[in-house]
Amino acid sequence: MLLRTDKPNIRSYALDDLRAFFEEKGEKAFRANQVFQWVWQKHAKSFGDMTNLGKDLRAFLQEHFLITELDVLSEQHSNDGTVKSAFSLSDGKVVEGVLIPADSRMTACISSQVGCSLDCKFCATAQLKMMRNLNPDEIYDQVVAISRQADQKFGQPLSNIVFMGMGEPLLNFKNVSTAIQHIMSEQGLGMSYKRITVSTSGVAKMIRRLGEDRVKYRLAISLHAADNEKRSQIMSINNTNPLEDLADALKFYYAETGSPVTYEYILFRDFNDSEEDARNLIRFSKHVPSKINIIEYNPVEGSPFRQTDPERLERFRRLLENAGITATVRRSRGKDIDAACGQLANKTAS
Ligand code: SAH
């Protein structure tokens, strides 16, 4: 549905702004709290749903504001339990989010942008053009929708959120931060910052900003190569944010927050899986306290890369381990439905 109107979305208001607006219009400020609860916790789809408000107030809201919610356009179920959803936004655009169930956790992998402006050579989202940033409510609603799936399909609450879907979260920083505030707030989902991870391709300036803001949520860096020449070949962001700048930004971030970081490292056969590559990674990872997530490459159409073989993967992991580094291997989930890392490309919706 296309909405053409000048009315603001009520969910673009912070609670204090909504209270001020109510007061200015001669309404009681505490009503703003009730409205806030309806839009952020009780998932009202229309002002008519807000049954503890008087008719006049509902009409007043209707006159001044829009209310929008994400629609689940389609759901795909992997044979490993992973659920990929396509969400349609109020302007008809589509983003994807994934629920990844595991024994002890239910993780939502969510998107921050429609498409992506970066062109990482191994990522399917890069093949879509960058269309727009998601609004805070669109980010939040993905979490709500995926958390419902966790409840309904697995009888378990959502435990973790990772910004590893479509888009570069640090290039939509303001909206991502507002969404995270709502996700953490008692008036929102009340989730702990420890359970939220923002993954970035390495926008050095914004990593410094996270440090300045002393953010508490977790930070993951998509590293994938620890020498400039190789990294620039696969991630053009490295041309403007070389490893030296990334390291400096991370040192600042760590000094301000005291939080260790996670490096994500996809192993590509005969590209970044040699002993020398491991030594470079070990060296880079010493800049700040960190751990390493070795990621299995998920083949993407049109990309020249191949997965490394199990022996080379194990050798690589052992080299890290012998250097005293905590390294885990992340085997991808949901591959049969293109829901794995780097495979989100709106295939079903296009
Ligand atoms: N832009 C952010 C978040 C999205 S990517 C970032 O770059 O971190 C989320 C993770 O999926 C990143 O670590 C990314 O490098 C990884 N990824 C992308 N394509 C992949 C692929 N084909 N196989 C495995 N992981 C991939």
Of 97, 183, 104, 103, nearest to 142 (Cα)?
97
Catalytic residue of the set 96, 138, 168, 264: 96
Q: What's the pLDDT at 69? A: 79
260 vs 12: which has the higher pLDDT:
260
**Does ligand 1 have an atom closer than 6 angstroms to the CB of 197?**
no
Within 13 A of 17's CA, how many CA atoms are on the CB side? 7
Ligand 1 touching residue 115 (CB < 6 A) = no
What is the pLDDT at residue 162? 97
| Burial of 66: CB neighbours in 10 Å, binned 0-12, 13-18, 19+ | middle
Q: Which ligand 1 atom is the nearest neighbour of the CA of 343?
A: 22
User: For ligand 1, atom 18, which residue shows the shortest CA distance?
Assistant: 342
Look at ligand 1, atom 5, and give the residue with the nearest C-alpha.
Answer: 164
Q: Is the CB of 271 under 6 A from ligand 1?
A: no
β-pairing verdict for 106-109 and 160-163: parallel
Q: Which residue has the higher pLDDT, 70 or 243?
A: 243
How far CA 142 is from CA of 60, 71, 131, 231, 347, in Å, comes to 28, 9, 18, 31, 18
* Residue bearing the CA closest to ligand 1, atom 20: 342
298 CA closest ligand 1 atom index: 23
Mutate to test the pocket of ligand 1, among 198, 291, 295 (most ligand atoms within 8 A of CB): 295
| Residue 201 CA, ligand 1 centroid: distance in Å | 8
Nearest of 241, 168, 227 to residue 200 by alpha carbon: 168
Q: Comparing 51-55, 79-83, 275-279, 336-340, which segment has the lowest mean pLDDT? A: 336-340
For ligand 1, say whether the CB of 138 is within 6 Å of any of its atoms.
no
Tell me the best of 123, 134, 223, 261 to mutate to test the pocket of ligand 1, counting ligand atoms within 8 Å of each CB and taking the most: 123
In sequence order, what DSSP letters do the residues of 133-185 get, joined into one string? EPPHHHHHHHHHHHHHHHHHHHS----EEEE-SSS-GGGGHHHHHHHHHHHHS
Q: Residue 88: pLDDT above 60?
A: yes
Could you say which DSSP state residue 128 is in? S
Domains of the chain, earliest start first: 10-64 (1.10.150.530), 71-337 (3.20.20.70)
Which has the minimum average pLDDT: 247-256, 286-295, 324-333? 324-333
Nearest Cα residue to atom 15 of ligand 1: 222
Q: What is the pLDDT of residue 343?
A: 74
Between 167 and 42, the more confident residue is: 167
Alpha carbon distance, N-terminus to C-terminus of the chain: 17
> Is 188 close to ligand 1, i.e. is its CB under 6 Å away?
no
Secondary structure class of 206 (helix, strand, coil):
helix
pLDDT in tens, 198-254: 999 999 999 999 999 999 999 999 999 999 999 999 999 999 999 999 999 999 999
Stretch 36-50: mean pLDDT? 90
Q: Compute the distance between CA of residue 14 and CA of residue 178 in angstroms, rounded to an integer.
A: 9
The Cα–Cα gap between 336 and 329 comes to 19
Residue 24 annotated as catalytic: no
- Residue 338 near ligand 1, beta carbon < 6 Å: no
User: Does 164 contact ligand 1 (Cβ within 6 A)?
Assistant: yes
Whether ligand 1 lies within 6 angstroms of the CB of 133 is answered as no
* Catalytic (active site) residue 341: yes
Which residue carries 């919706």 as its tokens? Answer: 349
Residue whose CA is at the smallest distance from ligand 1 atom 3: 164
Q: Please tell me if the CB atom of residue 98 comes closer than 6 angstroms to any atom of ligand 1.
A: no
The pLDDT assigned to 244 comes to 98
How many percent of the chain have pLDDT more than 90? 79
Question: Percent of the chain having pLDDT more than 70?
Answer: 97
